Amino acid sequence: MIAIYPGSFDPITLGHLDIIQRGSRLFDEVIVAVLRNPNKVPLFSVPQRLEQIRLATKHLSNVEVDSFDGLTVNYAQQRKAQVILRGLRAISDFEVELQMAHTNKTLSTQIETVFLATSNEYSFLSSSVVKEIARFGGSVDHLVPPLIALDIYKCYNHKYPIATPIATEAIPQITSTESPPERFPKQEV
């Protein structure tokens, strides 16, 4: 049985990975499908997100990563998937997801939606939360895989220095012969 796990994954979080790993135990194959949404301005391009997800899921032999446009149901039919996999964090997610599941059922009675409740430790987590924290200089090391955290820091570091990172690997080390970089450049008056 093939399951599609659709989303924007901009960026992929530990909550997403939790659903992917658990889904990989339930289904023969899980296709993590990155939706190309023309209405959103993403932090990462689709090819970047595909590569990030591939790296984060390389230990899962039955997980494939792909991208698509249009309706999830049409993509699921093209891939011969029987299930759309979705994660639920809160009551507000349930309302939106249930409406989507009912709509998808009107488009194809052959495809079921399966909901997995997010693990407690990720119940607050979303890609938007990760971007908001990083945008204002906070550490996201505990919210996303390490390689994705580095990519996020590269996106924001030029404007918002990392104030108190948990992992020091994300910050270039300065040798004693170098002068420290100026954290807050002087403003001319």
Residue 124 tokens read as 């607050």
16 belongs to the catalytic site: yes
The CB-side HSE value for 188 (13 A sphere, CA atoms) comes to: 0
Question: DSSP 3-state helix, strand, coil percentages of the chain (rounded to 5)?
Answer: 40, 15, 45
Closest C-alpha among 56, 3, 62 to residue 33: 3
Catalytic hit among 22, 36, 89, 135: 89
Catalytic hit among 8, 16, 49, 131: 16
H-helix or E-strand containing 5? strand 2-7
CA atoms of 18 and 36, how far apart (whole Å):
22
Catalytic hit among 8, 24, 86, 127: 127
40 belongs to the catalytic site: yes
Residue 58, classed as helix, strand or coil, is coil
Amino acid at 67: S
What amino acid positions are annotated as catalytic residues? 16, 40, 89, 127
